[in-house]
Amino acid sequence: VQLVESGGGLVQAGGSLRLSCAASVRIFSFKAMGWYRQAPGKQRELVAAIISGGGTNYADSVKGRFTISRDNAKSMVYLQMNSLKPEDTAVYYCKLDTWAQSDYWGQGTQVTVSS
C-alpha cells in the first residue's frame, strides 16, 4: 500500500488549502483513513478521520474549519482547510487503517501558515 500526499504549501493566515492523498489500493473497504499532523517539537496528532461507513471525526482545534472527504472511485482522500491559522503549521500525513489492525502512512506534506 502506498499513500502519496500533495497540496501543501505556504499560505497566509485566513487562507485555504486542499490536501489530497492518493492511495495505491481501493479504499472503500478499509477501516478508516485519516489526516494527522506533526509540528516541530510536538507529537503527531489526529486532525480528521473518515471511517468506512462515511462517518467523520475531527480534532476540536479544526472543527468548523477543516473538512475531510473521500472519492472511493479514485481512491483519494481530501482535507479541505479553511480559515487557516499559524498554529496549523505542520507536516500533514495521510494514514490508512485496515481491519487487520495494520496501518500505512504517507510521506507527508508541509503546510506553513504565515501570520
pLDDT, one tens digit per residue, over 38-56 is 999 999 999 999 998 889 9
Give 9-33 pLDDT, tens digit per residue: 999 999 999 999 999 988 877 899 9
Give 46-99 pLDDT, tens digit per residue: 999 999 888 999 999 999 999 999 999 999 999 999 999 999 999 999 999 998
Do 56 and 80 meet the contact criterion of CB atoms below 8 Å apart? no
Residue 37, pLDDT > 90, answer: yes
101 confidence band (pLDDT: 50, 70, 90): confident
What is the 8-class DSSP label of residue 101?
Answer: S
| Nine cell digits for residue 50 | 473518515
| Nine cell digits for residue 62 | 479544526
Q: What is the DSSP string of 1-27?
A: --EEEE--EEEETT--EEEEEEESS--
The mean pLDDT of the chain is 95
d(CA 31, CA 9): 29
What is the 8-class DSSP label of residue 86?
Answer: G
What is the 8-class DSSP label of residue 108?
Answer: -
Q: Which residues, in sequence order, are bridge partners of residue 96?
A: 33, 104
